[in-house]
Amino acid sequence: MAGNYSTQTLVVTIAHAELCKPDAQNAFKVRISIKTALGDNAYAWDANEEYLFRAMVAFAMRRYSSKSTTQISNVLLCNVTDRVSFWFVVTDSSKNVTTVPGSEVEAAIRMNRNRINNAFLLSDKTLQFLKITSTLSPPVEPSTPVWIIVFGVVLCLIVAGIIFLIFSGIQKHKKKNKESTERENLEEKVEVTLENGIPCEALDVKAGHINGVFAADDERFTSL
Amino acid sequence: MSQDLSATPETPEEDGRPKWDNKFQYILSCIGFAVGLGNVWRFPYLCQIHGGGAFLIPYFIALLFEGIPLLHLELALGQCLRKGSIGAWNTISPYLGGVGVGSWMVSILVSLYYNTVLTWVMWYLINSFQEPLPWSVCPLNENRTGFNEECYESTAVNYFWYRKTLNITPDIAESGTLQWWLILCLAACWAIVYLCTIRGIETTGKAIYVTAIFPYLVLTIFLIQGLTLPGATEGLIYLFTPNVMVTWFEEADPGDIIEKSSEDGSSDVLIYKCGKADATAWGCLKLNTLKNPRVWLDAATQIFFSLSLAFGGLIAFASYNPTKNDCEKDAVTVAIVNSMTSLYASIPVFSVLGFKATTAYWDCLDRNIISIINEFDLPEESIMRQNYTSWISFLNSSYPEKIGGLNLKSCDLQEFLDQSVSGTGLAFIVFTQAIILMPGSQAWAILFFIMLFSLGLSSMFGNIEGVFTPLLELQIIPKSAPKELLSGIICLISFLIALCFTLRSGSYWIDIFDRYAGSVPLLVIAFFEVIGVVYIYKIKRFSEDVEWMTGRKLNLFWQITWRFISPLLLLIVFMAFVTLQMQKPPSYTAWNPKYEGFPMKEEKVYPPWVQAICVLLAALPCVWVPLVALFHLVKQKRRSKSPSFVPPEVFSCQGANSNFSHPKE
């Protein structure tokens, strides 16, 4: 009986080695970069982590095919390196010594990628399944591009500035016009009263001495 | 006409001409006009390719013998004659009126394309408010399986510039359509220019306080931040030490002198001299500065274009001054501040470039390290950047085939530092990439682009003033109409014409305008300016005028430079410049995604009709000089035959300013 058991385990071990080896059919390589992801908080990769991995893969298979036949013992790991990288296969317990087709495993992992990543505190880049590509998340785009909003604000400020300046210019112009007409009236009065200190009305134009210098510029003054 | 100078006291000018609020505003406007985008993106590049610190020697010599004398000449001219460029040259001599018209035309052409560059800056500025920065990620392709192909093959930064901003065509002949987002930004830019120049120097004088001082603040902030970045010191050392780079050319023999164009496709040429390095090896050394005539030419042209001479804008600014003003001190101040700004700006630029090169180098190393670790399944962090070289040599000796199969890129920091770029490439591609790598990138991006915008805007003020002042004096619009109308008309017409630059091929056209309209005509006009003042107006009269204005005798230095050195230098620079341009067929580099060497740019030759436009652009401002002279010659010949011929009055600076109220005979 004991002999049978040991032969059984021997057979299983041989089968294990047959099914799970680098580049075996339906086997996937996994590469884990814990230090890159976690830095100082990195944990060491040991047998317990391996057990968790096998459990997650089994969980993924169960969830995908929604039949509870996959056991943790169905997931085989081999060739663990210091990197950390290893190969794994999922065996089918219903059929003897065969592996679940790669496409199924791939689909299962894809569906549950997020859960698997989170179990190890890693991401798509630091927990790599080498043959399984991850779908890229689209970049976030707001409904109205931000630049249009900023542009609108800037343009409003500029237009407000221009209108303000134009109006203040028009007002200044009007004020200057009003001032200059007032000044002209004032100057006329001043001119009239301050001709050599003698008011013009007092001057008798016919009797007075006509100054030739001013005679030439007569047309500049309004007629008295 | 009685010119009783002793009787009339020196009253301040009251001819109704606008004037500066204070001297500081005037100096600041001149500095703002001179300090522009070229100080940030052309000078550091020239420093770098011509061997760093040693470039400063030809630069300062050119400043001393070409820059400052020409600047002094223009400022003195404007201050004395109190007119814009067209009026000033007409006053000096009607035969020289063409010089004024030429300056005016150049100012128009340059304003058109310069504001479009500001449009690009504004576009980047308003996009900097987005998180994450739009030029940091590639968009996905249609079926979301990967990134957009054009973006993936080049970089996200390149894609944003060439596709999202310019939407560039692969050839200048394909014009494409107008790009609506650029039209919006162009309208905003011209609106800002209108807002600031609406009443001439009344409004620009207020705006200049902000636009001229703000860039210095930002440069200081970038300086402090840049120096704290890793790799900054490498960048600075690289900038200021002369290049003694040894390169190997297969086709070279000892004693050869080889010319190679620099990789960014610009027209710059690097010269190498080959010889024996030691007994067994030989190589080609990059020829260093003072022996390379190209360096002297670059220094002279850089000083000339950097000071914004021959635009007519400086004459316009100086014409609003009181005549009794020390223009000599002003000229020296403005020129020195301009050069110091160039130097000051190159420090943060090179810190950031050094940071970018170091980051790229580290990325290259990291990528190689990851490939090696993955291939050999070594534990993480076993190979670090420091022991990379020892690991590589060990692995190469033990597993050469495996290493060969990995296709590792050779990572050389020097190579990354050598990637020199100038112009729009520096601001919109290299710098934006560096900004993504900095923490808090949005703030840095916003600061950087506001700084570029202010730098460009203060130069635009000078350009627009060079267009506005002569038109105001020619009284194109009736005197009763407000000034706001004239500036509005100028801005509106310029906006409509500049719409051409928002076509998909617009940036190729801007390069053409920059190379042909903004270079050769300026040299020609400046040459005629000096000759006109010195030999037609006569240097004796001019030095008396300057003496009257500044209150002291004209230094011998100015006499010598104005009479001989500056015209000679200008002539030599002009000949060398034109010769160099003629040597190679006019070509440009195009962004063509279908090119097999993509993402390298494709070198193409201009089609004949474009070449004709280039010649037209260069000739149009210059042709006015002989045309106007000829026109007046013909008019003079006709007039000299008529009996009522009166010889034109001899103009004098002092005479004009104390007796402006007396009517001319």
Q: How far apart are CA B328 and CA B337, in angstroms?
A: 14
Burial B417-440 (b: 16+ CB within 10 A, else e): bbebbbbbbbbbbbbbbbbbbbee
Distance from CA of B242 to the nearest CA of A (A): 40
The confidence score (pLDDT) of residue B35 equals 95
The residues on B that touch A, with CB distances below 8 Å, are 123, 126-127, 129-130, 137, 139-140, 144-147, 184-185, 187-188, 191-192, 194-195, 198-199, 203, 373-374, 377-381, 482, 484
Average pLDDT over residues B501-509: 93
Question: Is the Cα dihedral B306, B307, B310, B312 positive or negative?
Answer: positive
The confidence score (pLDDT) of residue B103 equals 94
ipTM metric: 0.77
Domains in chain A (CATH in brackets) are 10-129 (3.30.70)
Strands B246-247 and B282-286: antiparallel
pTM: 0.82
Q: In a 10 Å sphere around its CB, with 0-12 CB exposed, 13-18 middle and 19+ buried, how is residue B510 labelled? A: buried
Q: Which two tokens stand for residue B72?
A: 């002094």
Q: How far apart are CA B139 and CA B219, in angstroms?
A: 32
Average pLDDT over residues A163-181: 88
Contact yes or no for B581/B600 (Cβ under 8 A)? no
Query: What is the greatest pairwise CA distance in chain A?
Result: 162
Distance from CA of B283 to the nearest CA of A (A): 43
Q: For B636-647, write each residue's pLDDT tens digit.
A: 888 877 655 555
Average pLDDT over residues B266-286: 52
- Chain A hits for B156, CB-CB cut-off 8 Å, are none
Residue A9 in this model has a pLDDT that exceeds 80 = no
CATH of domain B26-137+149-245+286-640: 1.20.1740.10
Test mutation, A84, A127, A165, chain B, max B CBs within 10 A: A165
Average pLDDT, chain B: 84
Residue A212 in this model has a pLDDT that exceeds 90 = no
Strands A85-92 and A75-78: antiparallel
Domain spans in chain B, listed from the N-terminal domain onward: 26-137+149-245+286-640
Q: For B50-59, write each residue's pLDDT tens digit.
A: 877 778 888 9
Residue B619 in this model has a pLDDT that exceeds 60 = yes
Residue A140 in this model has a pLDDT that exceeds 70 = no
The confidence score (pLDDT) of residue B151 equals 86
The residues on A that touch B, with CB distances below 8 Å, are 31, 33-36, 81-85, 135-136, 138-139, 145-147, 150-151, 154-155, 158-159, 161-162, 165-166, 169-170, 173
More confident residue, B506 or B149: B506
Residue B239 in this model has a pLDDT that exceeds 80 = no
Contact yes or no for B458/B30 (Cβ under 8 A)? no
Which residue in the set A35, A155, A161 is minimally distant from B188, CB to CB?
A155
The confidence score (pLDDT) of residue B23 equals 93
Write the CA distances from A206 to A200, A202, A210, A222, B268, integer angstroms. Answer: 13, 12, 8, 17, 87
- Residue B298 in 3-state DSSP? helix
The confidence score (pLDDT) of residue B660 equals 42
- Range A7-15, long-range pairs (CB < 8 A, 24+ positions): A15/A97
- Chain B hits for A154, CB-CB cut-off 8 Å, are 126, 188
Residue B279 in this model has a pLDDT that exceeds 50 = no
B200 is in an annotated binding site: no
- Chain A hits for B137, CB-CB cut-off 8 Å, are 139
Please name which of B84, B123, B118, B128 lies closest in space to residue B104, comparing C-alpha atoms: B84
Q: For A77-113, write each residue's pLDDT tens digit.
A: 888 888 888 888 888 877 767 778 888 888 888 888 8
